[in-house]
Chain A
Amino acid sequence: MKAFSNFHPLVLFFYFISVLLLTMFTLHPVLLFFSLLGAVLFASMLETPRAVLVSLGFYVPMFLLIAVTNPLFSHNGVTPLFFMNDNPVTLEAILYGAAAAGMVISVMYWCRCYNTVVTSDKFLYLFGKLIPKLSLILSMALRFVPLFKAQVKKISRIQKTMGLYSSESKVDRLRGGFRVFSAIVTWSLENAVDTAASMRARGYGLPGRSNYSIYRFTPRDGAALGILAVLLGGSLWGMKTKVLEFSYYPRVAALSLTPVVLAGYAVVSALMFLPFLIEVKENLVWNYFRSKI
């Protein structure tokens, strides 16, 4: 179930740009926590639990590495924990490093989600009108990649049948690899020129031609875009007015819990958890309907 990706590409693109912007703008621990949690939860709905666990196995050490090495580059802060090579290792620098690491890893997870949700056809749909020639090149290149991969397999099988590079030696295999590559280059260039001729014959680039797209902007998308814009605006306003600001140096600031700040947290968390909640709701509805059958 991927309920969130059913929204119009514009909504999806706007969403990812907003969360990435917010995440990269801030070093506020609470906001980063929301962002990281939202991204990881959303990723766990999109990918298998195993894939998410494997990725955590990579990102947790990275988090620790960034947090621990930050004091080596930054000696700000007033709470020295101990001294290394006559340089103080401060509590503030470690916490700052942890926040920075949280930011980097949230960005990574949001990008993982982006890659599954905003597929290349959606991207091309969004930017095709803006950059027609480039998006033609992009979409053709995109199609060529699997085509060439299939062709590489064919050629290498044929070469094997012909008795070429069947030995196990490394040099032989490398040579074989380049032979296949050479064949694929020749084939793909000729193929390209043929494609171009075929496109010209069918009137590519003549005026008055339109193209079909599967996406339609519905009122639901409009509403979603409006809500996202309000949430993003609220979060940015909170940052601009220092409601959602946090400082690490010289001393780690205390987390204030005034109503305004809590409202700010609510806005940001609503934005960060939105796709996860939509997925959860869709799963519930799905299970409910199934239970009725």
Chain B
Amino acid sequence: MKRKWTVTVVTLAAILTVIVAGVALFHDRKYNIISILIALLSCVPFFLAYEKKQMKTTEMILVAVMVALSSVGRIIFAPIPGFKPVTAITVITALYFGPQAGFLTGSLSAVISNLFFGQGPWTPFQMFGWGIIGLLGGLLQKWLLESNHWRIRLSLFGIFAGVAYSMIMDIWTVLSLDGTWSWTRYWTSIGLALPFTLEYAVSNVIFLMVLTKPIGTKLQRVKKKYGLDESYS
């Protein structure tokens, strides 16, 4: 617990330093670089926590499998832009393996799939966006899954995740243009991206509805078959 707090404090301090240094050195004009650094830094505490944690090799490999599955899914569905299973698979991992694994699957999926789609300054934003969605999915696990209305709740979460992802990526769209922030530009780009946002939301709901139970059953089965139950809460 104590270590968790140290990591959080250090990260917050690092983010603050980046902001202050940005304001002092570049007269507060270079939001693009500063925002990339902040997006990266906000992933650091989760990565560090994961590095520190004692865990079984199996758990690490299962996360790697989920990351690879979401990247393969993104490649399979590449002809339809915006229609990607990354969010759904991240959420499913989070539901069955907890928030930390969810964050990892989301953020690493961004890194891995961008190796095939092209890395760029947008990678940290995708890492952060998908990571946070995974984290939230893991934290809301009880509410999302252990209910008779799980389909409705999960669909709502899918819609929320699509909108949130789109809004996080639009921050980057605005900042990439000239390095400064403008609310008019933000609202315009959200407006222009509306079809994509809708597509994200719809595809998230479709993938979550189709994949959650089958993958969940398979995960449970693997846990049972190989006696992995004790390592997960």
Contacts and interface: CB of A to CB of B under 8 A. Distances in A.
Nearest to A134: B47
B57 interface: yes
26 contacts: A21-B33, A24-B32, A24-B121, A24-B179, A27-B179, A70-B178, A100-B177, A111-B118, A134-B47, A134-B51, A134-B108, A137-B60, A138-B112, A140-B64, A142-B112, A142-B115, A144-B64, A148-B72, A149-B75, A184-B69, A184-B72, A185-B69, A189-B65, A191-B65, A192-B61, A200-B57
Contacts, number: 151
Interface stretch (A112-120, A252-260, A284-292): A112-120
Given A132-B51, A185-B218, A189-B222, A145 B178 contact: no
Interface of A: 20-21, 24-25, 27, 66, 70, 73-74, 96-97, 99-100, 103-104, 107-108, 111-112, 114-115, 120, 131-134, 136-138, 140-142, 144-145, 147-149, 152, 177-178, 181-182, 184-186, 188-193, 195-197, 199-200, 204-205, 240
B116 A145 contact: yes
Nearest to A108: B120
Nearest to B116: A145
Contacts of A104: 176-177
Interface string B43-78: 000010011000111101111110111011101100
B57 A137 contact: no
Nearest to B72: A148
Given A100-B177, A136-B60, 20 more contacts: A24-B32, A24-B121, A70-B177, A70-B178, A107-B176, A115-B115, A134-B104, A134-B108, A136-B64, A137-B64, A140-B64, A141-B112, A142-B68, A145-B68, A148-B69, A152-B72, A177-B76, A181-B73, A192-B61, A193-B58
Contacts of B5: none
A152 B75 CA distance: 12
B182 interface: yes
Contact of A111 (B69, B120, B211): B120
Interface in B73-131: 73, 75-76, 104, 108, 111-112, 115-116, 118-121
Given A73-B182, A111-B118, A24 B33 contact: yes
Interface majority SS on B: helix, strand, loop or mixed?
Answer: helix
A91 B45 CA distance: 46
Contact of B61 (A97, A186, A196): A196
A133 B50 contact: yes
Nearest to B48: A131
A133 B60 contact: yes
Nearest to A177: B76
A178 B118 CA distance: 27
B51 A141 contact: no
Interface in B177-194: 177-179, 182, 184-185, 188
B226 interface: yes
B64 A141 contact: yes
Contact of B104 (A115, A137, A149, A189): A137
Given A115-B118, A131-B51, A190-B222, A149 B61 contact: no
